Amino acid sequence: MRTAGLALALAAGSAGTLSAQAMRPFTTFRQLHGESRLQARLDFAAGQLRVVPGRAGELYRMSLSYDADRFVPLSHYDPSTNAATLGVDRAGGGFRVVSRSQLQQDAVVELSPRTDLSLSLSLGAVEADVELGGLRLSDLRVEAGASRTALHFSQPNPIRCRTADISAGAAEISVLQLGNSHCDRLRVEGGIGRMTLDFGGTWTSSQVAELSLAVTELRLRLPRKVGVRITMDRFLASFEPAGLVRRGDEWVSPDYDRSERHLDIALRTTVGAVKVNWTD
Amino acid sequence: MRTASRLLLAVGVLLALPASAHAKTTCMLSRVSGVFETVRAFVQQQIAPGPQRPKPQAVEPAPAGGPSVDLGDLSKPEVVERQLRTAVPTPRSDLKLTVPNGQARLGDFTIGSAETMTGHLLVLGGDANVYGKLLGNLVTMDGNVVMHPGGVVSGDILALHGDVRDQGGEIGGEVRTLSAVTKPPIAPDTASTRSAVMAVGRNVAGVVGVFFTLLALGVGLVTFARPSLDVVSDTASHSFGRSFITGLIGQILVLPTFGMLVVGLVLSVAGILLLPFAVVVFVLLLILGVVRHRLGQQLSVSAHRTGGGVHAVGCLGHFRLGTRGRRDGAGGSGTGDLAGGHSGFRRGAAESGGSPRQLRRSTDPARGSDRRIPLGHAAVRRPSRAAP
C-alpha cells in the first residue's frame, strides 16, 4: 500500500518536471556570394516548421528553437555542391516517443529567391507551413511522416520545375495553387491520411500527375480553364466525378479536347475516397 | 440685460482660464518628468556596473597535453561549446589554451581595417569587432561578433551565447549563433500553484483510471479465465527458469512482431483496412498478457507464502475460496467435504514447499489420499470441487 502510494505520488508529480522543458535558440545563415543554385535539404524531426522566401542578400537563414535535451541542430553547407542541410535531428539513436513538449520546437527557414532551388523536405512529427511562391523552384521532394503539411505556391514559379515528388505516411497534406508551381510532373504517394491537391494558379504549360494512394481521402480542386483527364485504377474506393464525363476508362472535363493546357492525372487508389471540386 | 450677459461672459472666462492653465501645467509637468526619467536612466546606465569583462589580452598556448580546442569544423556548435566549456570553465587571466592553426584572445578584440589575420580566432568573454580581414574561422564565447563595413571573415563564424551583427561585412562561410538555454516563462504564483494542483489532479485521475482498468481486467480474468490462469500459475511456480526465459524472449519479440504484423497488413493492401483493429487488438493482448502474468505470479507467490491460498490476497476468487475453507476450519465442526477442501489447501502448501508450521498443521487425518496435485489446482480448483 505504501509502495502504491509512493508510485502514485511520483506519477502525479512527474507532470511538473516534464513541463519544465528547456528550449535553446539557434540561428544560422549564409550570405549570397553569387551562387546560382542551391540544393537545400530540410530535416525536421518534430515541431513546427515554416519555410518562406528569404532576404535578397542571403542564401539561406534558419531561426530555430529546439529541445536541447533530445535534439541537435543541423546546419551544414557544402560549397562544392551548393548543398545545404538544415533542421533538427534526434540526439542519439534508439526508439523515442515524441511528446507534446517536444513538438514545441519551431523553426523558420528562409531560402533565397534569387537562386534556382532544389528543395528536399524530410518531416517527422511536424506541423509544416511551406510557402514556395516566389522561389525559383527547380524540383521538389517532400517526405512526410506523421505530419500536417501545407505547401503553398501563392506566386508563380519564375522557372520551370521538373518534378515534385510528395510521399506521405500517416499525414495530412495540402498542396495549394499547384498551377503556379510550373512543375511538369507531379508524383504523389500517400499512406493513411487526408490529402488536398489544389491545381489552381497561373498555368503556363500542361502538367502530368501520378497519384498512388492507400487509405487516403483525396480532395481534388480542379481549375475550369484547364482540360482535365483522370485515368483511374481504384479498389474499394469511392469517387465523386462532379462534372467529369466518362469516356472509356477515363474521366474527362467536357472541354478537354478544346483546352490549350491539360492536366492528366493517373490515379491509383486503394480504400479511400476521391472528391472533385471545381475552381475558377 | 447687456450688463448681465457681460457678467456671465466674464464669469465663464474666469472659470475657463484655470482649467486651461491646469491642462498646460499638467502637460509641461509630464514632459519635464519624461526628460528627468530619460536622464535618470542614462545616468544609471553609466554608473551601474556592466557585466564583468576580462581585461583584453592574448591567451598563451597551453603546454603539450594541455587544453586545446580545434576550430576547424564549426558545423556542430554544441560540440564546440562542450569542448570550450571543458577547456575553459571560466575565462581567467592565467588561462592557457591551444587553438590549432589559430589563436585565442580574452576580452574585447578588434581587427583593424588595415590588418589581415591568418588562422582561426577565438575570443572569450568579449566582443570581436572586425574592420579588417580574418582568413579563418571566428568563434566568440560570451560575446558578440560585429562585422563592420569592409570587414572580411573568410571562414565560418560561431557566436556562443552571443550575437552576430552584420553591418556590411563579408562573411565567406556560414554564420551560427547558439544562445543559452531559455526556460519557459514562470507564471504568477497563484496561477502556477493552480496549474500544479490541476496537473497533479489530472495525473492522479489518470493513475486511478489505469488502476481501475487493470482491476477490471484482473477481475474478469479470475472470473472467466481461471483455468488458464492456473496454468500460468503452475508454470511460474514449477518452472521458473523456463517461464523467465520465455517471458524475456516474448518481451524482446513484442516490437518486431508488431512491426511484422503492420508491414504484413500494409503489403497485403486489403489488410490495410484491418490495421487499426489489429493495432488495438495487439495492444489489448499485450495488456492481457501482462495482467495474466502478474496474476499468475501473484497466485504462485501467495500460495507459497500462505499455504495454498488460505490467506491469499490480490486474487478475488482465491480469496473467496480460502475464506470458505478457513471458516470451516475455524469452526472445527465442518462437514467432511469442506474439511477435505480445507486439507486440500494445506496439502497444496505442503507440496509446494510451505512452512514447517503448515506442514505440521496439514497432518490432518481427514485430508484423504496423498497424491501430488499441481499447485494451482490444489490451491484453487480442489476446494471448489469439494464445496457443495
Of A23, A26, A28, the CB nearest to B174: A28
Contacts B203 to A, Cβ<8 Å: 11-15
Interface test with B, best of A23, A27, A78, A102 (most B CBs within 10 A): A27
Residue ranges of B 271-300 with Cβ closer than 8 A to chain A: 272-273, 275
B335 to chain A nearest CA, in Å?
Answer: 37
Q: B168 CB near a chain A CB, below 8 Å?
A: no
Contact A12 B182 (CB under 8 A): no
Q: What is the pLDDT of residue A268?
A: 94
* Band (B341; pLDDT cuts 50, 70, 90): very low
Residue A227 Cα distances to A201, A222, A257, A277, B87, angstroms: 14, 9, 7, 14, 68
Task: Please judge whether A13 and B180 are an interchain contact, meaning their C-beta atoms are less than 8 angstroms apart.
Answer: no
- The Cα–Cα gap between A178 and A160 comes to 13
Classify residue A128 as exposed, middle or buried by CB count within 10 Å of its CB (0-12, 13-18, 19+): buried
Distance from CA of B208 to the nearest CA of A (A): 9
Q: What cell does B145 get?
A: 561578433
- A11, A22, A75: residue with CB nearest B183: A22
State the CB neighbour count (10 A cutoff) for residue B115: 12
**CA nearest neighbour of A200 among A219, A230, A179, A173:** A179
In this prediction, residue B1 has a pLDDT band, given cuts at 50, 70 and 90, of very low
Minimal Cβ distance to B269: which of A12, A65, A214: A214
Which among B178, B112, B192, B120 has a CA at the least distance from the CA of B151?
Answer: B112
B378: closest CA of chain A, how far (Å) = 29
Chain A nearest-CA residue for B196:
A16
**For residue A111, which of A42, A8, A179 has the smallest C-alpha distance?**
A42
Q: DSSP per residue over B37-85, as a string?
A: HHHHHHHHHHHS-----PPPEEEBPPPTTS-B---S--S-HHHHHHHHH
Q: Which residue has the cell 549563433?
A: B177
The answer to whether B272 contacts A22, with C-beta atoms less than 8 Å apart, is no
B170, B183, B200 member nearest A13 (Cβ): B200
pLDDT tens string for chain A (280 positions)? 444 444 444 444 444 444 456 789 999 999 999 999 999 999 998 899 999 999 989 999 999 999 888 889 999 999 999 999 999 988 865 555 555 655 689 999 999 999 999 999 999 989 999 999 999 999 999 999 888 999 999 999 999 999 999 999 888 999 999 999 999 999 999 888 899 999 999 999 999 999 999 989 999 999 999 999 999 998 888 998 888 999 988 999 998 999 999 999 999 998 889 999 999 8
Instruction: Give the count of alpha carbons within 13 A of A249, CB side only.
Output: 8
Select the residue of B174, B207, B270 nearest A11 (Cβ to Cβ).
B207
H helices, E strands: number in chain B? 11, 14
- In this prediction, residue B301 carries a pLDDT of 66
Chain B, 52 to 91: residues with Cβ < 8 Å from chain A are 75-78
Cα–Cα distances in angstroms (integers) from residue B330 to residues B127, B138, B308, B327, in the given order: 88, 88, 17, 5
Taking only residues 184 to 203 of chain B, the set having a beta carbon closer than 8 angstroms to any beta carbon of chain A reads 184, 196, 199-200, 202-203
Mean pLDDT is lowest, of A195-199, B120-124, B220-224, for B220-224
Q: Which residues of B touch A25 (CB under 8 A)?
A: 177-179, 182
At residue B328, the pLDDT reads 39
User: Taking a contact as any Cβ pair under 8 Å apart, which residues of chain B between 232 and 261 contact chain A?
Assistant: 255
Q: Which of A15, A24, A33 sits opposite B203 (nearest CB)?
A: A15
List, in order, residues 6 or more apart from B283 with CB less than 8 Å away: none
Give the span between the Cα atoms of A176 and A164, in whole angstroms.
13
The DSSP secondary-structure symbol of A261 reads S
Cα B139 to the chain's mean position, in Å?
A: 33
CB contact under 8 A, B275 and A23: no
Q: Is B180 on the interface with A (CB under 8 A)?
A: yes
Nearest to A232 by CA among A174, A278, A272, A177: A272
Q: Please identify among residues 27-56 of chain A the ones whose CB lies closer than 8 Å to any CB of chain B.
A: 27-31, 33
- Asked whether residue B31 carries a pLDDT value surpassing 70, the answer given is no
Q: What is the mean pLDDT of residues B228-248?
A: 78
pTM equals 0.63
What cell was used for A40? 537545400
Q: Count of alpha carbons within 13 Å of B304, Cβ hemisphere only?
A: 12
Boundaries of every domain in chain B:
57-178, 209-388
Cβ neighbours of residue B209 closer than 8 Å, sequence gap 6 or more: none
